Amino acid sequence: MGHNSLWQVGLTYLDCCPNEGLATIELLLPRIPFNSELKAQKLVREAKNRDLHYIAQSICKVQGMRSLNRGRLGNALTWALRAQDGPFTSYLADKFLKEYIETGKINSTDLLDNLGSCMLSSDRLIFLVKNVKQG
């Protein structure tokens, strides 16, 4: 599990261990380091495949914070929505609104235009999306 490219093989092996395989996966999966979006997506997929939704949510939150720290608001919003984290989504919507007030422009309008029912996770996000579509 510690090897950078063989961790998925370790998961497959642990899936075959009937007594303690899933419990071991629950302990090890959150500890696998991820420095790329692709690896984070793989970890989320593996967690969801095993119904470990809280681990998937945690990974999404971490990746969302990393994106926010890099100034990638649209990407951070995507990860917050994947995590189903209402407060973080509202916080990011506030950031978008603040940016709009300061510059008169909103980045990531294509993302905001195509949120669909995901926008219902935050009242501020609904406000933001409705105003983007009107403007």
| pLDDT tens for each residue of the chain, 135 residues long | 777 778 999 999 999 998 899 999 999 999 999 999 999 999 999 999 999 999 999 999 999 999 999 999 999 999 999 999 999 999 999 998 888 888 888 777 777 777 878 878 888 888 888 777 665
Give the pLDDT confidence score for residue 133 in this predicted structure. 63
Sole residue written with tokens 């991820």: 34
Residue 1 near residue 10 (C-beta atoms within 8 A): yes
Q: What is the pLDDT of residue 135?
A: 56
